[in-house]
Amino acid sequence: MDDENVLEPSVLKAWLAHVQRPRTVRMLMLTIAHLEGIDTANLKAWYDVSDDELELWFDDLEQYSLPVVIARYEGVDFAELATASGLTRQTIADWFAGLEGEPIEEAADIIARYSARQARPLLSTRESRVHYLDYQAIRDQGWAIDDDDLFEKASDAALSPEDYGRVLVEAGQTILEAVEQRGMTWPYACRGGACANCAVIVLEGDIAMPGQTVLTDHQVRVVNARLTCVGVPVTDTVKLIKNVQRLDAFEDLRLPSPMTEFST
């Protein structure tokens, strides 16, 4: 077990009071016994586990943080969440790993809601700083979306707050709600995940999109597009390009918009 994943019996005992499934209880108790020096043969006999089950459990604890392992044993379906949110499984795992910083009772409650499929994927539990840069401003400056130092160049240029800036998105807010709350102009049309007018391209961090049905797998996974009217940040920081709906990748999904279209 590496230094990052050192387990404390007190932490395992605290989780024991909040997990739901007998199998999770058994594995936590077994781990506490292991930390107290009980050998493998006795662990298997006392807790009625096979070699494979024991090996898999300790491998998981080596590889992942405790909330991720517990979430799996409690029945959270990472693949289902990835499909529903348009995020990668790694982002889902990173999000559950972030529960390590939360009080155990609250983290266990969140896991229980995901296990019971009562939470939207992914429920945002913390605020996020979203840095945005407008696609038209990139074109006007002669830059390209894949420039390495795009946001550094933008911070040095005299861009308007509509073109470049940062907005704090509160827990549970969509990005569109956050920018509108601050009186900003932001492209949109349907407001329900059914067009591409509010699309952005994510360069750093990630955004979950519960309920989006229109973006293709290619647009989500290769272009890294997200819809901000339903999009909830799941990382502490997000960097994105807004106003990308005029790109060819979104041509078929644009709707007539109440917002002013930019010129090409």
Applying CB under 6 A, the residues found at the interface with ligand FES are: 188-191, 193-195, 197-198, 227, 229
Give 133 or 209: the residue with its C-beta nearer to ligand FES. 209
- Residue 176 beta carbon to ligand FES: minimum distance, rounded to whole angstroms: 7
Distance CA 162, CA 160 (A): 5
Please state whether 75 falls in left (phi above 0), alpha (psi between -120 and 50) or beta.
Answer: left
By beta-carbon proximity to ligand FES, the closer residue of 26 and 191 is 191
The DSSP result for 167-205, as a single string, is EEEPTT--HHHHHHHTT-----SSSSSSSSTTEEEEEES
DSSP codes joined into one string, 46-64: HHT--HHHHHHHHHHHHHS
SS3 label, residue 69: helix
Instruction: Report, in Å, the least distance between residue 188 CB and ligand FES.
Output: 4
Q: Quote the CA–CA distance of 212 and 195 in Å, as a whole number.
A: 9
Q: Which is nearer to ligand FES, 38 or 194 (CB)?
A: 194
For ligand FES, the closer CB: 121 or 231: 231
Half-sphere exposure of 116 (CA within 13 A, CB side): 10
Q: Which residue is nearest to ligand FES (CB)?
A: 229
- Between 94 and 180, whose beta carbon lies closer to ligand FES? 180
Taking the complex as a whole, how short is the minimal distance between the CB of residue 255 and ligand FES, in angstroms? Answer: 7
